[in-house]
Amino acid sequence: MPEILVQYEAEIWKAILETFVMVGVSIIAAVLVGLPVGTLLFLCRKGKLLENRLVFSILNLLVNTIRSFPFLLLVVFLIPFTRLLIGTAIGTAAATVPLSIIAIAHYSRLVEQSLLDVPKGVMEAAVSMGASVKEIMFKFLFVEARSGLVLGLTTSIISFISYSTIMGVVGGGGIGDFAIRYGYQQFKTDLMIYMIVIMVILVQLIQFTGTTVSRMIDKR
């Protein structure tokens, strides 16, 4: 192993762990909140099962607004909210708040898109069989859209990694922050390049896993 990596080994592991925490919490938020929000966006559309203009417009506006913020501004803008929620706006735990919020907005949009790809006839068959909205979601919609949902999550996770790299501004740490502080600001270009390589490998692994899983579960 190159000497410089040995020298900074402890810090590098810490940075990797911080990235995993930030991205991990974002994934959990995306699945637990983004999936239902995206599903609601889909179901409340015109002509869909729970058609509701008000709910659709509110969610749609909210998702668009969050996504139109330059992410750095969103982080700063959310500082009071983060402080309210976590008690501090600084550190890895605090960094998970803006990350989770963008994660929810990001993934919910991709969920909505995947669900729109489910053939209308399948939904119709479900209704004709006497399925309730909940049954239609779990026995038809999610089953039919599952490969798209996995691919969407894969794309989202990679965006979360990218977003997490700027969390240094609120002391969130992570690989990106480490690369900037040690590699860029202290002119250790080799260290910066090693960090970039770690990120590239990470993204490749995630994309490969996502693509493989999505292909395995796609029987269409």
Question: Considering beta carbons, is residue 125 or 201 the nearer one to another protein?
Answer: 125
> Which is it for the CA torsion 155, 157, 160, 162, positive or negative?
negative
**Residue 214 sits in the site that holds another protein (CB under 8 A):** no
Report the residue from 6, 73, 121, 187 that binds another protein according to the rule CB under 8 A: 121
CB atoms within 10 A of CB 27: 18
Structure tokens at 93: 């735990």
Segment contacting another protein (CB under 8 A): 69-77, 97-105, 109-117, 134-142? 134-142
Rounded CA-CA distance 165/129 in Å is: 49
The token pair at 186 is 């202290």
- The rounded distance, in Å, linking the Cα atoms of 141 and 204 is 29
Residues 6+ apart with CB under 8 A from 178: 11, 12, 15, 195
Binding mask 17-56 for another protein (x = CB under 8 A): ----------------------------------------
User: Interface with another protein includes 140 (CB under 8 A)?
Assistant: yes
Asked if 70 is part of the footprint of another protein (rule: CB under 8 A), the reply reads no
**Residues interacting with another protein, by CB under 8 A?**
119, 121-122, 124-125, 127-132, 135, 139-140, 143-144, 146-147, 217-220
